[in-house]
C-alpha cells in the first residue's frame, strides 16, 4: 500500500510540507505509468537540478534588496558627522557582496543555458546551490553588522533574513 511518513519539520520553506511517501506493491495501470518502472528515484534525482536552479534564482532578488537597503541606510546614518557609507571599508564590503551576487547570477544563467540545451548540469547546479546558501548567510551577516542595534529589531528586512 501507500504509506506517508511523518511530516518533516524544516528550518526553511515552512509553507511547503515535506514527507517521505512509500509505495509498496501498489498496482498502477500501464497507461498511468510515468517513464520506466523502477526508475522513479532516478527521475526524481534529475528533477532536483531544476529545484536547485529555482532555489538559486529565488535568492538573488532578496540578496540584492538587502544590500541596497543597507547601502541606503549607511548612506543616511551619520557617525562622527559622516555617513557610515563614507567609510572605505564599509563601501568596499558592500561592493564585494554585490559582486558575489552578480557572480552567482552569472553561474545560474550559464547553468540554465546548458540545461535548456539538454546537458547534464548536476555539477553546476550543485555548485550554484552551495554558493547561494553560503552567500545568503554571508550577505545577511555582513549587512546586519552595518545596521548596528537597528539590525536586531524586526523593523528591518535584513533581520528577518538573518533569522
Question: Strand runs (DSSP E) across the chain, as ranges?
Answer: 2-4, 21-23, 78-79, 82-83
Assigned C-alpha cell, 34: 510515468
- Using DSSP's 3-state secondary structure scheme, residue 78 falls into strand
Cα–Cα distance for residue pair 38/8, rounded to 1 Å: 25
110 contact partners, CB below 8 Å, separation of at least 6? 124
What angle, rounded to 10 degrees, do the helices at 40-76 and 88-116 form? 150
Among 51, 96, 102, 155, the active-site one is 51
Q: Is 37 a catalytic residue?
A: no
Instruction: Report, as residue numbers or ranges, the catalytic residues.
Output: 51
Amino acid at each position: 500500500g501507500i504509506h506517508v511518513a511523518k511530516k518533516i519539520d524544516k528550518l526553511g520553506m515552512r509553507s511547503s510540507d515535506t514527507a517521505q511517501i512509500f509505495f509498496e506493491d501498489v498496482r498502477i495501470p500501464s497507461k498511468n505509468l510515468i517513464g520506466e518502472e523502477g526508475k522513479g528515484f532516478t527521475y526524481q534525482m534529475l528533477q532536483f537540478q531544476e529545484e536547485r536552479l529555482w532555489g538559486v534564482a529565488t535568492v538573488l532578488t532578496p540578496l540584492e534588496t538587502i544590500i541596497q537597503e543597507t547601502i541606503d541606510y549607511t548612506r543616511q546614518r551619520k557617525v562622527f558627522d559622516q555617513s557610515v557609507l563614507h567609510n572605505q571599508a564599509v563601501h568596499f564590503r558592500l561592493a564585494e557582496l554585490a559582486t558575489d551576487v552578480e557572480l552567482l547570477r552569472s553561474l545560474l544563467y550559464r547553468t540554465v543555458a546548458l540545461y535548456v540545451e539538454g546537458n547534464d548540469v548536476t555539477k553546476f547546479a550543485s555548485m550554484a546551490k552551495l554558493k547561494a546558501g553560503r552567500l545568503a548567510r554571508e550577505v545577511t551577516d555582513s549587512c546586519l553588522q552595518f545596521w548596528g542595534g537597528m539590525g536586531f529589531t524586526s523593523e528591518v528586512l535584513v533581520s528577518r533574513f538573518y533569522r
